[in-house]
Amino acid sequence: MTHQSHDPSTRPSQPVPARRRVRGHRAARLLRLALIGYVTWCVGLFVMQDRMIFPRDLAHPPVTSRPANTRFEQWWLDVDDETRVEAWYLPGRGRTASSPGPAVIFAHGNAEIVDDVADFAHRYASAGVSTLLPEYRGYGRAGGKPSQAGIVADYLAFHDRLAARPEVRREQIFFHGRSLGGGIVGALAARRAPAALILESTCTSVASFCHGYGVPEFLCRHPMRTDRVIAALGRPILIFHGTHDDIIPVSHGRTLHALAPGSTYVEMDAAHNDFPTDLQAYWREIRAFLAPLGLWQDATTP
């Protein structure tokens, strides 16, 4: 009589139960669908980011072909055969070749045009500060398509033209940017160190918002890493932010302040689009920041 071996290793393999196979196929299918959905989401955001960061359709068209106030000079920068970008320039009160002084480059928000910030130029000019308001490509009267690289290149050209003005002291040029404009002048500061920097309702970086959308930062074509710039800038910095900012949370302003040792931080009871709610307090802070640096000559209270 022969005896059969009962070694388990010699037993034929058992078929996987049908129910388990179905569950495995279903899980793999769901994983593929999730991956396709995520890739589609990332591609969509990559394609749409220009409209999200530069919503120029929200900015109203200019009413006139040139500044209504004749005190402004209208400068033009010919980028190429199809792209022409403008800037408005207003000399500071009392500034001449024999009496040169400070100047500011002001960058507006992403749903504005230079016409909307003319009041800033008037206020600065009254304090003896010559003011340049460069436009963004694709905004207002400017041609082209907005991008961080293109706009910063334009700002560099305008900066150097401003620095060559006889009524401007090159070493006394400072930058002021609000909202998206803070990211623009932050990037400009990495190429042309300013006498001082004012950031208003500015994010640490545009790239930092990628996490909220669940996408990696490298997909952001216009990162505007203001956080990295100011950490190594070594120049006087004033940071404004609204406590109730509903577009760029106040945590961004507080983080920028922490990243820039010695910076001045002013938090106001305001949201984003209504900042500042107290104009007099706002200009007092600016004057208190700039006057000790020799960048503000108006001694009157705003």
Biggest CA pair distance of the chain: 123
Write the CATH number for 234: 3.40.50.1820
* Whether the Cβ atoms of residue 99 and residue 172 lie closer than 8 Å to each other: no
* Whether the Cβ atoms of residue 247 and residue 241 lie closer than 8 Å to each other: no
How long is the chain?
A: 302
One-letter amino acid of 115? D
Least confident of 63-72, 183-192, 224-233, 258-267: 63-72
What digits encode the pLDDT tens for the residues 241-250?
A: 999 999 999 9
- Computed over every residue of the chain, the mean pLDDT equals 88
**189 in any annotated domain:** yes
**145 in any annotated domain:** yes
Higher-confidence residue: 216 or 265?
A: 265
**222 in any annotated domain:** yes
**38 in any annotated domain:** no
Burial of 45 (0-12, 13-18, 19+ CB in 10 A): middle
Cis peptide before 276 (omega within 30 of 0): yes
Q: Rounded distance, CA 290 to CA 197, Å?
A: 10
Residue 216 pLDDT > 80: no
Which band of pLDDT confidence, cut at 50, 70 and 90, is reported for residue 300?
Answer: very low
Burial of 50 (0-12, 13-18, 19+ CB in 10 A): middle
Q: Rounded distance, CA 52 to CA 217, Å?
A: 15
Taking only Cα atoms into account, the Rg of the chain, rounded to an integer number of angstroms, comes to 27
**300 in any annotated domain:** no
**202 in any annotated domain:** yes
pLDDT at position 208: 83
**2 in any annotated domain:** no
Q: Which domain holds residue 79?
A: 56-293
* Whether the Cβ atoms of residue 143 and residue 85 lie closer than 8 Å to each other: yes
Domains identified in the chain, total number: 1
What digits encode the pLDDT tens for the residues 138-159?
A: 999 999 999 999 999 999 999 9
Residue 194 DSSP label: -
One-letter amino acid of 157? A
pLDDT at position 57: 87
pLDDT at position 152: 97
Residue 6 pLDDT > 90: no
Which band of pLDDT confidence, cut at 50, 70 and 90, is reported for residue 263?
Answer: very high
Helix (H) or strand (E) holding 174: strand 168-178
What proportions of the chain, in percent to the nearest 5, are helix, strand and coil?
40, 20, 40
CA 232 to chain centre: 18
